[in-house]
């Protein structure tokens, strides 16, 4: 009899274990003590729109100029249209992020209306651009895309803070960064081939991908609607009031602008540095960019693991010092070989710095103001995107006599390295304890 009881108990235990495993694999909000691995379905669904958005904006900014140059016949005009991203990033994200905190709740939460409004605008702008027959139509298409993109992105970012406990922010941003890297890589690696087959093809595929990944987010909104007690309490405040009361967020805005200033300056001139500064071929430049892309994807999960182990702030400070110091070394070498030796480590540090700012912003923001914090993230990014390339370009023109061996391009490393080091020192006084708050269980 005891043997039968033991067998029955064992069967019951195994059955319950299987049920618990099945529940962990189902889409659900985090329960107290659960790890990122146990909510993988939720993290994967949350990250899909990041892939679609990264693919869409990379296709437009990389291959849109091919369409635009045949209509406007002026590289300056093309640059102005594509550069509208930076200008709109100074306005639209602040509004959409803060409003998504303040909007009366719909049946599917406060963020959904902005996602539903932004996605069609971005998809339409992307799909219409390659068929444009006039400068006016092309300009409206580009602007429509960027408005839709920035209406969509900050409220979508804020979903992470709505649904996840703070202890999972870093790991969640790692998954998101991988999705972003895959979207960027897919655009760069396949866009040229698709463009050669039929010019509208990469734009239409990117629009379809953005639409599909947005639809894939709907189960998350339905989950949020079913578990109203699991989402954050909303205590919205205007961004101005938020920044006035929260000195840490003010510092974060400055620091993120410095990081983005550096990234934008590097992205705009790295190919010219390799081709014109050190006299190597475009193929070599592509290989360098490929190494950086691989480091970006590899650095994302490492960033999450390091932040869990040592804290977001400490990791960002140390990696900013490594990244900024590595960039400065580039100003004192005159050939590509020494740069290639240190490139993997410096690129990895840069990838970690690029992965964690969103998690830091949500950690610093008061509960219920995560939409405004997401808007601040894109606003500060816009400042860097606008100023970085301008500052680097001006420095190259001025410093050519001092950096003759690289035709002035060597000064780029100073211009983009010093802001990253400054960011590391500005982060030092911040005190951002990582709470272990968890939304109520479903």
DSSP string, 109-147: BSSHHHHHHHHHHHHHHHHHGGG--SHHHHHHHHHHHHH
Domains: count for the chain: 2
CATH of the domain at 283: 1.20.1250.20
Residues 6+ apart with CB under 8 A from 19: none
What radius of gyration, in Å, describes the C-alpha atoms of the chain? Answer: 23
103-112, 176-185, 284-293: least confidently modelled range: 103-112
Paired strand residues for 106: 109
Question: Does 31 fall in a domain?
Answer: no
Q: Give dist(CA 68, CA 143) in Å, integer.
A: 13
Q: Do 248 and 211 sit in the same domain of this protein?
A: no
Q: Give dist(CA 153, CA 330) in Å, integer.
A: 34
Q: What is the per-residue pLDDT for 318?
A: 94
Q: Which of 192, 207, 234 is the last residue of a domain?
A: 234
Q: Do 150 and 61 sit in the same domain of this protein?
A: yes
Q: How many CB atoms lie within 10 A of CB 243?
A: 16
Q: Do 162 and 252 sit in the same domain of this protein?
A: no
Confidence of residue 91 (pLDDT cuts 50, 70, 90): confident
Query: Cβ(253)–Cβ(379) under 8 Å?
Result: yes
Alpha helices in 164-273 (DSSP H): 169-197, 201-215, 218-226, 239-245, 247-272
Q: Do 214 and 249 sit in the same domain of this protein?
A: no
**Tokens representing 401?**
């006599």
96 or 256: which leads in pLDDT: 256
Q: Using one digit for the tens of pLDDT, what is the confidence trace for 219-270? A: 888 877 776 544 445 555 556 666 677 788 889 999 999 999 998 888 777 7
Over range 5-11, report the average pLDDT: 42
Question: Does 255 fall in a domain?
Answer: yes
Q: Is residue 14 over pLDDT 90?
A: no
Q: Which of 211, 234, 257 is the last residue of a domain?
A: 234
Q: Is residue 440 over pLDDT 60?
A: no
**Tokens representing 178?**
């991988």
Q: Do 155 and 176 sit in the same domain of this protein?
A: yes
Confidence of residue 48 (pLDDT cuts 50, 70, 90): very high
Q: What's the chain's average pLDDT?
A: 80
Question: Which range has highest mean pLDDT (307-321, 366-380, 386-400)?
Answer: 307-321
Which residue from 378, 384, 181 is spatially nearest to 299, judged by alpha carbons? 181
Over range 83-93, report the average pLDDT: 80
| Class of residue 112 by CB neighbours under 10 A (exposed 0-12, middle 13-18, buried 19+) | buried
Residues 6+ apart with CB under 8 A from 161: 169, 232, 362, 365, 370, 373
Question: Does 357 fall in a domain?
Answer: yes
Q: Do 309 and 201 sit in the same domain of this protein?
A: no
Could you tell me the CA-to-CA distances from 390 to 79, 209, 399 in Å, in that order?
Answer: 12, 32, 14
239 or 415: which leads in pLDDT: 415
pTM greater than 0.85? no
Q: Do 397 and 373 sit in the same domain of this protein?
A: yes
Query: Cβ(41)–Cβ(180) under 8 Å?
Result: no
Q: What is the per-residue pLDDT for 204?
A: 95
Tell me phi and psi for residue 7, to 5 degrees: -65, -45
Question: Does 7 fall in a domain?
Answer: no
Q: Do 218 and 248 sit in the same domain of this protein?
A: no
Confidence of residue 441 (pLDDT cuts 50, 70, 90): very low
Q: What is the per-residue pLDDT for 16?
A: 45
Could you tell me the CA-to-CA distances from 395 to 135, 365, 421 in Å, in that order?
Answer: 32, 36, 18
Q: Is residue 214 over pLDDT 90?
A: yes
Q: Do 343 and 194 sit in the same domain of this protein?
A: no
Instruction: Evaluate the CA torsion angle 294, 296, 299, 301 in order and state its sign.
Output: negative
| Domain region containing 371 | 237-431
Question: Does 30 fall in a domain?
Answer: no
Q: Is residue 8 over pLDDT 50?
A: no
Q: Which of 234, 255, 272 is the last residue of a domain?
A: 234
Q: Using one digit for the tens of pLDDT, what is the confidence trace for 122-153? A: 999 999 999 988 888 999 999 999 999 999 99
Residues 6+ apart with CB under 8 A from 375: 93, 94, 95, 96, 97, 98, 154, 239
Q: Do 306 and 187 sit in the same domain of this protein?
A: no
Could you tell me the CA-to-CA distances from 118 to 212, 329, 381 in Å, in that order?
Answer: 14, 42, 19
Q: What is the per-residue pLDDT for 131?
A: 93
Q: Give dist(CA 368, CA 132) in Å, integer.
A: 42
Q: Do 319 and 266 sit in the same domain of this protein?
A: yes
Q: Do 318 and 278 sit in the same domain of this protein?
A: yes
């Amino acid at each position: 009899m005891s043997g039968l009881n033991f067998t029955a108990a064992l069967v019951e235990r195994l059955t319950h274990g299987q049920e618990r495993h099945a529940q962990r694999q189902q889409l659900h909000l985090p329960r107290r003590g659960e790890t990122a691995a146990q909510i993988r379905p939720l993290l994967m669904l949350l990250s899909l729109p990041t892939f679609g958005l990264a693919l869409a904006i990379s296709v437009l900014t990389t291959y849109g100029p091919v369409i635009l140059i045949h209509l406007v016949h002026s590289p300056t005009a093309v640059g102005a249209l594509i550069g509208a991203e930076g200008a709109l990033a100074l306005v639209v994200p602040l509004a959409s992020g803060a409003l998504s905190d303040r909007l009366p709740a719909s049946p599917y939460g406060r963020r959904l209306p902005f996602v539903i409004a932004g996605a069609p605008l971005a998809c339409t702008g992307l799909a219409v651009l390659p068929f444009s027959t006039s400068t006016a139509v092309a300009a409206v298409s580009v602007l429509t895309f960027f408005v839709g993109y920035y209406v969509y992105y900050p409220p979508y970012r804020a979903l992470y803070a709505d649904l996840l406990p703070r202890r999972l922010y870093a790991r969640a941003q790692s998954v998101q960064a991988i999705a972003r890297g895959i979207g960027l890589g897919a655009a760069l690696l396949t866009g040229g081939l698709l463009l050669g087959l039929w010019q509208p093809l990469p734009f239409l595929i990117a629009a379809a991908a953005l639409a599909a990944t947005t639809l894939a987010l709907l189960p998350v909104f339905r989950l949020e609607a079913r578990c109203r007690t699991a989402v954050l309490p909303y205590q919205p405040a205007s961004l101005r009031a938020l920044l006035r009361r929260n000195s840490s967020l003010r510092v974060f805005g400055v620091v993120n602008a410095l990081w983005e200033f550096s990234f934008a300056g590097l992205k705009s001139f790295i190919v010219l540095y390799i081709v014109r500064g050190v006299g190597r071929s475009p193929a070599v430049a592509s290989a360098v960019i490929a190494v950086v892309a691989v480091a970006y994807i590899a650095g994302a999960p490492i960033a999450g693991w390091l932040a869990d182990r040592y804290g977001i702030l400490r990791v960002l400070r140390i990696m900013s010092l490594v990244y900024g110091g590595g960039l400065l070394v580039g100003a004192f070498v005159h050939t590509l070989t020494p740069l290639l030796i240190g490139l993997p480590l410096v690129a990895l540090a840069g990838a970690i710095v690029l992965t964690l700012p969103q998690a830091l912003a949500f950690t610093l923001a008061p509960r219920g103001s995560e939409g405004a914090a997401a808007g601040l993230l894109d606003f500060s990014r816009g400042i860097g995107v606008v100023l970085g390339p301008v500052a680097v370009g001006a420095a190259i023109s001025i410093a050519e006599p001092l950096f003759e061996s690289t035709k002035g391009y060597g000064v780029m490393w100073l211009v983009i390295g010093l802001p990253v080091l400054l960011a590391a020192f500005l982060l030092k006084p911040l005190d951002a304890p990582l709470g272990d708050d968890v939304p109520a269980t479903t």
